[in-house]
Amino acid sequence: MQIGQRLDRFLSEALPDVSRTRIQALIREGHVRMAGAPSGGATIEDVKYRVKQGDCFELIVPPAAEPELKPEAIPLDVVYEDEDVIVIDKAAGLVVHPGAGQPDGTLVNALLAHCGKSLSGIGGVARPGIVHRLDKDTSGLMVAAKNDRAHRALAEQFADHGRTGEMARGYLALVWGAPSRPHGRIEAPIGRHPTSRTRMAVVPKDKGRFAATEWRLVESYGGTGKDAVASLIECTLETGRTHQVRVHLAHYGHPLVGDPLYGAGFKSKLKTLPEDLAGAIAALDRQALHAAHLAFVHPGTGTLLEFNSDLPDDLAEIVRQFKQL
């Protein structure tokens, strides 16, 4: 014990399976008291209380509350699962977390039903720990934590974005046109669009947050370089900004096929394509983006886990037709 240390920090270090945020909430709710004389039984509700020599604390952790969210039997493509984590291949159209415009029918509702009692009380409520997200209309690999310890460990890895560890996320993006180089890096700050609240944009440094995307050209269709109609690009994220891949590639001049927010100006391209291909793209009803690679260190075993996902049928069919140009 470090004398003079804040109570919340002291308890967090003593109880690594409970998040510091959760411990702070328990202190404020009166679940921490002094044990032993002379002040035994006294409740401490100040998270900034400074620990003194001889202090002994009793922390009463109430059972996790019943989830406010309802479990829903939504089919999931489970790639991997154990007592700590679950990896799923998310379908396009599935919202990750409930919000004002989507109170149910989400991945969280599906995980509550799938995992049942195996979930612990993250934040005091029994729910899966979402440590990263995909846009509703982006398909691909996601991992969720099933207990507080796993949640904390995964959250640290994703906050670092693989800069100092082995965590990695890779995307396959089908875009209009093709870059003139085989690989490169887009480094441009991202912030809220100045006139549209639903969009993000590349903005001046003082208006946004640092964002970096590494990319590699996989193949091009209908030509090469500036003559290409479209191309498949592999992207690796160094940061995790909202709509990062979509914004960066659009800024680079190659918006995603089917992207209604950042590629709307390329709808005229459909008129130049064969009827079947144009119809397939028009029917896509989402951006052509797939989270194809995910790697992270398992929070319990310390083993590096790596997963790969092929393009889903809707994108694979469009790629097949592009190859025939």
Query: What is the C-alpha to C-alpha distance for residues 83 and 70, in angstroms, rounded to an integer?
Result: 21
Task: Tell me whether residue 135 is one of the annotated catalytic residues.
Answer: yes
Catalytic residue among 8, 84, 135, 148: 135
3-class DSSP string for the chain: CCCCCEHHHHHHHHCCCCCHHHHHHHHHCCCEEECCCCCCCCECCCCCCECCCCCCEEECCCCCECCCCCCCCCCCCEEEECCCEEEEEECCCCCCCCECCECCCCHHHHHHHHHHHHCCCHHHECCCEECCCCCCCCEEEEEEECCHHHHHHHHHHHHHCCCCCCCEEEEEEEEECCCCCCEEEEECCEEECCCCCCCEEECCHHHCECCEEEEEEEEEECCCHHHCCEEEEEEEECCCCCCHHHHHHHHCCCCECCCCCCCHHHHHHHHHCCHHHHHHHHHHCCCCEEEEEEEEECCCCCCEEEEECCCCHHHHHHHHHHCCC
Q: Which residues have a catalytic role annotated?
A: 135
